[in-house]
Amino acid sequence: MPNEVHIINHPLVQHKLTLMRRATTSTAKFRSLLREISMLLAYEITRDLPLKLETIETPMATMQAPVLAPEKKLVVVSIMRAGQGILDGILELIPSARVGHIGLYRDPQTLNVIEYYFKVPDDLEERDVLIVDPMIATGNTAIAAVHQLKQAAPHSIRFLCLLAAPEGVERFHSEHPDVPLYTAAVDEKLDSHGYILPGLGDAGDRLFGTK
């Protein structure tokens, strides 16, 4: 389905997002909240992961029980560096997921995206990819990441963030109408420096305590 934006408005997600937005929230708390919220987001967006039946023995009987289809392991691609916070949470929930990294940063003057790292599993054609980055602001980083991933022709691509700006969502959809976007909230607007308002500040700085 084209042009999908899914707002994950589960009460626990919304509550934790509010705690993360607060300027008084410490780095340690921000980090643990991002981990927790990522697990909840991952829970919501993995509803359609394929299952297969396996024969197991319970203490009582033999049964056919569902397990995740192993041949199509999900690939989570983290946009460095703030994507790491979401990746950590998802890996707690899906430890067998494969992992890719894309290093992209925004030039603070031009807001253009510069790529400095790209490493993903070889065999993406058979796999579903979930790209993660806490923020979609201008959308430039998300657009560039999807563009790079598409070169590897994965089976499917979805994008997960925590917060998005309407401007970024619109741009993302116009560039990649085939890629569904999942977020906990779409905020009001961008400021003149490309930050989301009201937002939560710089996700990387808040996660790693670099400011």
Provide the mask over 44-83, with x wherever binding to ligand URA is found by CB under 6 A and - wherever it is not: --------------------------------------x-
Token pair for 91: 């890996």
Query: Is 202 among the residues that bind ligand URA (CB under 6 A)?
Result: yes
- Name the residue type at position 113: V
CA–CA gap between residue 197 and residue 161 (Å, rounded): 16
Query: Is 195 among the residues that bind ligand URA (CB under 6 A)?
Result: yes
Q: DSSP state, 194?
A: S
Provide the mask over 103-142, with x wherever binding to ligand URA is found by CB under 6 A and - wherever it is not: --------------------------------x-x-----
- For 93, the enclosing helix (H) or strand (E) is helix 83-93
Stretch that binds ligand URA, among 30-38, 61-69, 119-127, 192-200 (CB under 6 A): 192-200
Question: In this complex, which beta carbon is closest to ligand URA, that of residue 72 or of residue 106?
Answer: 106
Whether 204 and 210 have beta carbons less than 8 Å apart is answered as yes
CA–CA gap between residue 149 and residue 134 (Å, rounded): 18
Instruction: Sheet with 185-186: list strands edge to edge.
Output: 135-136, 163-164, 185-186
Q: DSSP state, 160?
A: E
**Least CB distance to ligand URA at residue 135 (A):** 4
Provide the mask over 156-185, with x wherever binding to ligand URA is found by CB under 6 A and - wherever it is not: ------------------------------
CA–CA gap between residue 36 and residue 12 (Å, rounded): 10
Contact residue for ligand URA among 42, 91, 184, 196 (CB under 6 A): 196
Question: In this complex, which beta carbon is closest to ligand URA, that of residue 113 or of residue 152?
Answer: 113
Total binding residues toward ligand URA, as defined by CB under 6 A: 9
Rg (C-alpha) for the chain, rounded Å, is 18
Length of the chain in terms of residues written: 211
Query: Is 145 among the residues that bind ligand URA (CB under 6 A)?
Result: no
Tell me which residues touch ligand URA (CB under 6 A): 82, 135, 137, 195-196, 199, 202-204
